[in-house]
Structure 1
Amino acid sequence: MTDSEPAVTPTPGAGVGRNVMSREVTRRSLLAGIGLGVGGLALLGDFSTISAQGDVHARAEGRGPAVPADVRAFDHVVVLMLENRSFDHVLGWLYRDDQLRPGQRVDGLYQHPSSNVGPGGVVIPAYRYTGSRDAVLVQPTTDTGEDLGHVNHQLFGTSSAVGRPAMSGFVADYVENFRSLRGHAPTKDEYRQVMGGFAPDALPVLTTLARSFGIFDHWFAAVPSDTFCNRSFFHSGTSHGYVTNAGSGGYEKWWNVPAVPTIFNRLNDARVPWRVYYDETQAVSLTGILAAPSIEAYWKTNFRSMDQFHADARSGRLPAYSFIEPRMIFNRNSMHPAAVASGDIVDRLSVYNKGVADMIAAEALVAEVYEGIRTSPQADSTTLIITFDESGGLFDHVPPPAAPPPDDAATPGESGFTFDRLGPRVPAIVVSSWIDPGTVVNDVVGHTSVIATLCAQHALAPLTDRDAAARTLLSAVTRSSARPASTWPKIAIPRVPAAPASLLRAEDRADTSTGLGIVGLVLARFAPNAPRPEDVATAFDTLADHHAGLFGTSDAARV
């Protein structure tokens, strides 16, 4: 380790003293922020066709092209993982064929027009949202189903997941979920939203990066189910048999998972520096909690705030691997679709916070991270990957392929799932000096491909059979010399608009969806008998009482 690298060896059992965060000041800021603020399987190939035999280097060579030693694209890997959007929803309309550079092809909706059947047999084609910015960015205005039962219905058109997914049940499942959440059937204009997607100009930051650098058009989620399971797979190569956030044992189940090695453990054992960056206003890191039995000893030493990320980027001290969490609890910038409760004021505030504000705030986060890397001394040796944890029940036309279970000897997990297939496609944008503008990588990859890439880069042993079989991301490299960062596009950070003043009185009743789940995780460990909060303000107070300075924030505060 050099003087310019963050520390990699923590002090096990580091103190978890009371955090000095001011509840009143931070809560005031929080609430002000809320107010102001085709391929078939044969064509695509099988994720499991790569041999798991041989040594680490042989496996790495078998999972993708070798990168010359003088290509430093993956010396530093930064991953920003947002929430709950499908590939077709975000990037399906990115390129017409005549917009692709020579030699490139993409599996989008211009290339493969698609549809589902709605109530009464009406055909609902995939389409681009139109209208005002606010009208576009809030869609879909009611949350979609995300757990295994819903995703099976979306993919197969039935609850029985047998045969090749027809990708035919998105509308039918959305209709059922809408009725369950809202108490009445949706109109056609409401249920067709699940088939909609964004025109490129609706998300200018993501579009600029996708076109100026590259995308993966066959990046699949690890599990056809919820957020926690997919985020667990991303760094552990397994979700420990779980396909729900809190079913079959509640949130406390995540505290009791086996202390299996994660990619963080592999890196640490090899003295390769890594960090997880999270927003300090959220108090805790979901990444740290989901793998707590394996990495709790690193919470104070390797977890840092976004302020520290920007300081590290400016000073050229980004570690070999950085993982960035958006705000998923309060004042979100995770791009999670709207989750609307009943009641007019709550509906409008929820749609605003999780629609317009969340989408623009997520674009602002992407721009901030990108600009931090673009202006860093490490820009030429850093690859930024922007992806999503799961598809969020939104339409995608490409059937997910088969995949090896993490452990062939394991018994089926929750709901009898055997982990032998991937979840739907998610957007994945890759930014690097070693990538030509307009690059489209067609390889079948997924969440565990990041593990595979880091293992190949640093000669580490794989974690599970799933990541041992995964292709690396090294095929994204298209250049033999780096594009100077001075030639990268400069991106202005979007301004997050203010909410209508008439909605501010409803602020304490705004729904937080995944955020309340994260609070539930904290309480399951540190206050198991405490009531679960049902609103933003109570959730914040609960974290202030129980998070107890669990995670590090800055190098300056390190003791």
Structure 2
Amino acid sequence: MKGAAHPPYGDLRVGDNGEGATVTNAAVSDVRAGEQLLHELYTALRSAASPTGSNTTNTSMLITFDEHGGTYDHVPPPSAVPPGTGETSEMGFAFDRLGCRVPAVLISAWTAPNTILNDPKHHSSLVSTLSRQHGLSPLTARDVDAPNMFDAINLTTPRSAAQWPQTTPADVPIDNDGELDPKAEANKTKKLSNPAQGLLGLLIAKFSDPSAPVPDSYEDAYDALTELGGGLFGTTDPA
């Protein structure tokens, strides 16, 4: 992946007149790099032509988002089937409600142009679709209730890839001076976002030494994951 689409996080610097605030010492982050990645994946699918393996007639591409980007949603989140029974979280949240609406795009030769699905879907719809397509057991009670995405497959004859639209991504700035290289010395001290710090802290506390300091920079995070990675992502049981 060439870059992340998350807004940059770093030190806030405000201009002399109190305006023109900018983020400095930020992590590498540019939504244009994310668009470039999607363009490359879509183009690879559009040009896939293997007669026996993956190709445009037997492969679908689903683009989903886990955040709504802060855009106001005038529709209250609806109720939903909880994944399990009796589960509660902070402030008594019972996982019985969906969140804000997020976009999703399905790309398939079996989908008619300009298809828009207005029926409610949610993230478990993908799991539900894959489970039913391949005869797999559902993961949770929410998957059982989730509406599948087969209604997006609405053609009886696949569209030729020549009829698919061509995409042109935004220009991604050229890194002539190495400023965007995550391995560059200057980038090692860039600050982690609060969610990243919190996640690392929880993982370290649960699977390693609870007294270990919580990383606050990319370099510290790398050192912590390198040292404690066996406990975080692998097994500490003897072979």
Normalised TM-score (structure 1): 0.35
Deviation digits for residues 222-274 of structure 1, max 9, x if unmatched? xxxxxxxxxxxxxxxxxxxxxxxxxxxxxxxxxxxxxxxxxxxxxxxxxxxxx
Q: Of 224, 229, 232, which aligns to 1:547? A: 229
Contact 1:527 1:546 in 2 (8 A): no
Q: 1:429 to 1:411 in 2, by over 3 A?
A: closer
Higher helix share: 1
Cα distance in 1, alignment partners of residues 43 and 86 from structure 2:
44
**2:36 corresponds to:** 364
Contact 2:88 2:94 in 1 (8 A): yes
Cα distance in 1, alignment partners of residues 13 and 166 from structure 2:
42
Q: 1:364 to 1:481 in 2, by over 3 A?
A: same
After TM superposition, list the pairs within 5 Å mapping 1:49-448 onto structure 2.
Answer: 332-333=3-4, 335-343=5-13, 347-350=23-26, 353-354=28-29, 358-376=30-48, 377=50, 378=54, 379-407=56-84, 409-448=85-124
**2:192 corresponds to:** 512
Identity within the alignment, %: 36
Cα distance in 1, alignment partners of residues 155 and 186 from structure 2:
52
Cα distance in 2, alignment partners of residues 542 and 368 from structure 1:
33
Query: Which stretch of structure 1 is more off in the superposition, 539-548 or 371-380?
Result: 539-548
1:465 aligns with 2:137: no
User: Aligned pairs, how many?
Assistant: 215
Cα distance in 2, alignment partners of residues 487 and 522 from structure 1:
48
Deviation digits for residues 114-158 of structure 1, max 9, x if unmatched? xxxxxxxxxxxxxxxxxxxxxxxxxxxxxxxxxxxxxxxxxxxxx
Q: 1:509 to 1:394 in 2, by over 3 A?
A: farther
Deviation digits for residues 154-191 of structure 1, max 9, x if unmatched? xxxxxxxxxxxxxxxxxxxxxxxxxxxxxxxxxxxxxx
SS at match of 1:445: coil
Computed over aligned residues only, the root mean square deviation of the Cα atoms, in angstroms, reads 3.2
- The offset of 1:500, in angstroms, is 9.8
Return 5+ residue gaps in structure 1 as ranges: 1-278, 280-330, 552-559
**1:454 corresponds to:** 130
Q: 1:375 to 1:399 in 2, by over 3 A?
A: same
Q: 1:349 to 1:427 in 2, by over 3 A?
A: farther
Cα distance in 2, alignment partners of residues 374 and 380 from structure 1:
10
Cα distance in 2, alignment partners of residues 527 and 332 from structure 1:
32
Cα distance in 2, alignment partners of residues 527 and 384 from structure 1:
41
Cα distance in 2, alignment partners of residues 453 and 392 from structure 1:
26
Return 5+ residue gaps in structure 2 as ranges: 15-20, 235-239
Contact 1:403 1:466 in 2 (8 A): yes
1:523 aligns with 2:223: no
Deviation digits for residues 303-339 of structure 1, max 9, x if unmatched? xxxxxxxxxxxxxxxxxxxxxxxxxxxx842x22343
Contact 1:390 1:423 in 2 (8 A): no
SS at match of 1:537: helix
Cα distance in 2, alignment partners of residues 395 and 487 from structure 1:
35
Amino acid at match of 1:360: R
SS at match of 1:455: helix
Deviation digits for residues 337-391 of structure 1, max 9, x if unmatched? 34353335982343x844xxx2011101111222222223322111111111132
Amino acid at match of 2:43: E
Cα distance in 2, alignment partners of residues 365 and 444 from structure 1:
28
Cα distance in 2, alignment partners of residues 349 and 478 from structure 1:
48
Cα distance in 1, alignment partners of residues 68 and 87 from structure 2:
26
Normalised TM-score (structure 2): 0.75
- The offset of 1:518, in angstroms, is 4.9
Contact 2:25 2:191 in 1 (8 A): no
